[in-house]
A and B are shown apart, each in its own frame.
Chain A
Amino acid sequence: MALLNNEIVQQVQQRLADLPDPVKLMVFTSPDHCDYCKEIVQLAEEVAATSDKLTAEVYDIRQAPEQAQALNITMAPVIAMVGAKDYGLRYYGIPSGHEFSTLLAGIERASYGKPDLDEQTKTYLASLSQPVTLQVFVTPTCPYCPRGAILAYDMAVASDKVVAEVVESMEFQDLAMQFNVMGVPLTVINGKERIEGAAPPPMVVDAIKKVLA
C-alpha cells in the first residue's frame, strides 16, 4: 500500500514541478535494529516518482561503504538529498508528520542550490573556513521543528563547510540521550553548543561563532 495518498502526491507534484537541478535521494539503510527502513525506502521512491528531476538510490550502509564514506555517513537510516553537488543535506529517520515538509524543503534546497537567508547571514556563512555540523533533533508531531530544520538546510546550502543533519529523535534515541534531548527542536553545533527551540538565524550564527572561537 502506498504511504502517500493521492491528494498528497498531487500536492507534491505541484510543488516540485519546476525543480531546476536533478536531485538524488540517497537512502542508506541498515540491516540491524532499523524499525522503519522499509518505509523510508518506500517513501523515498514514492517522492522520487512525483518528479522526473528526482531519483531514489538505496544502499545498505555496510555493503556500500564507499558511497557512505563519500557523504561522510556513519549512521542509518538516512536520506541524503544530493543536487548538482552535495550540499550536506541529511534526514536521519523517517520524515513523517510535520517533518515531511522538511524533506520537501531539503529537496528544493538541493535542486535550487539557493538558501533563503538574509544577506548578513549568507555573508558570514560564506566566510567560514572550518567545518560546521548542525544536528537538529526533531519529532514528527512538533509543528515548530521544520523551522529549525529548514534553517539548518539553508545554512548548509549557503556554505560548503556546513552539513545539516536533521535527526528524528525517537529513531535515534541513543544519540538523543547523548545530548540529553528532552525537547525539540534542538540544534547542536559540532557536538558542543546547543540551541533549544526554533532559533532565528542570528542566534544560530552567534552560536557557530562561539563554537569556532
Chain B
Amino acid sequence: MFDFTLTEESSATAPSGGLYDVIIIGGGPAGMTTAIYASRDGMKVLVLERESTGGLAATTERIENYPGFPDGVSGMELMERFRKQAERFGSEIVEFDEVASVEPVEKGLIKVHTAEGHVYEGKTVVVSTGSRPKKLGIPGEDEFYGRGVSYCATCDGPFFKNKNVVIVGAGNSGLQEGLQVLEYAKSVTFIEFLPYTRAEQILQDRVKASPKTTLLFNHRVAAIQGQQTVTGVVAVDRESGEEKLIPTDGVFIYVGYSPISQFVTDLVETNRWGYIVSDARMRTKTLGLYAVGDVRADNPAQLTVSVGNGTIAALDIRDFIRELNS
C-alpha cells in the first residue's frame, strides 16, 4: 500500500563540478530527455532542479496519451523512469536548488548561479523550466492560499475528503485533476469562464458521469471568501450578471500556466506572455543557450512535444560542441 520514491538530494551527493558539456535547468520531461540523449552520447551533463525532478508531469495522477503505455501510467512513475534512464548514462542531478541567473561569458562558457550560491559552468545551457499554474488575481486568493485555495490537487487533495470542492477552470487540467478529487470529495463544482470547455471529450464524459459533479459554464469567479479557511466563492454569470455564492471548503485553480523564464529574460526573446522564443533547433538568441518544453513559445504543453524538443536540442548541442572542439 506504500510506495517509496527516492530522489537525489544536493548536499551529500555533490556534483562532480568542472566544465559541463550541457547544464539543463529544469528536470521535467523536456530536460530529462535532453539529459538522456546528451549523456548517452557521452556528454558531461548536469540537471539542476528547484524541486524534485519530474516537473508538472509528475503531479499528474494518470497519463493516458503517452505512447507505449496502453493502460496509462502514473505521472510520477513515468518521470521516475525518465530520471533513471538519464542517470544510467551518467547524468548528474541536483535537486532543491533554484537557478538565480545565467551568465554567458564567452563562446563555449556559460555560468549558472543558484540561489544557494553554487556556480556551475557549461559549454551550453538548456532552459527547460516549464511553467507554473496561473493565479486568478482575485480577492481572497492569496489570503486563503494553503487554507483552502490550492494549485495542486495531488498535493492537497487528501485534505478534502468528504468535503465540497470548487475547481476553477474546466480545461484539460481542471477536468483531469477534478476527476481525481471526485474520487473522495463530497461534491465538485467546476466553474469555467468560457461558455464551453476545450477539454478532451473523454475527460468531459468521465466528469459528467459522476453524480457529484456540477458544471457552471460562462461564469467568472470574482472572489474567494472565508473565515479561518475557505467557505465559499462568488461566481458571476457572465450573461445575466447574476452573482452567486457557492459554498465550498476548497478551491482548486486550473486556469492555465505562466512560464518560468524571468531569470533569463535579458538573454532571450520572449513572446508577450513571457514564453521563450527558440528556433527549430531550440536555439535562443544567446549562443549556446537553448529553450525546450513548456517554457518555449508556441508549444502545446504536451509531454510528447517536450520529449521531441529535448531530443532536438541534444542533437544540436552535439553539433555545437563538435564545432567548438574543432
Contacts and interface: CB of A to CB of B under 8 A. Distances in A.
Interface of A: 3-4, 8, 11-12, 15, 39, 43, 94, 96-98, 100-101, 104-105, 108-109, 112, 114-119, 139, 141-147, 150-151, 154, 169-170, 176, 180-184, 186, 194, 196-198, 200-201
A180 B117 contact: no
B11 A186 contact: no
Contact of B9 (A94, A104, A169): A104
Given A12-B6, A182-B229, A114 B146 contact: no
Contacts of A4: 4
A117 B118 CA distance: 10
B6 A8 contact: yes
A141 B155 contact: yes
Which 10 A-B residue pairings sit nearest by Cβ, starting from the closest?
A196-B146, A116-B11, A142-B155, A183-B146, A100-B4, A96-B2, A108-B12, A183-B156, A143-B52, A101-B7
Contacts of B249: 182
The SS class assigned to the B binding surface is: loop
Q: Which of B147, B150, B154 is the most central at the interface, judged by chain A CB atoms within 10 Å of its CB?
A: B147
Interface residues of B, number: 44
A183 B4 contact: no
Interface in B7-25: 7-13
Contacts, number: 134
Contacts of B9: 101, 104-105, 108, 146, 150
Interface of B: 2-13, 50-52, 54, 58-59, 76, 95-96, 98, 115-117, 145-150, 152, 154-160, 228-230, 249-250
Q: Which of A94, A116, A186 is the most central at the interface, judged by chain B CB atoms within 10 Å of its CB?
A: A116
Contact of B146 (A145, A182, A201): A182
Contacts of A183: 145-150, 152, 155-156, 159
A114 to B, nearest CB: 7
B159 A98 contact: no
A49 to B, nearest CB: 14
A196 B5 contact: no
Contact of A182 (B54, B58, B250): B250
Given A8-B4, A139-B155, 10 more contacts: A108-B11, A119-B117, A141-B157, A142-B155, A143-B54, A146-B51, A182-B249, A196-B145, A200-B115, A201-B116
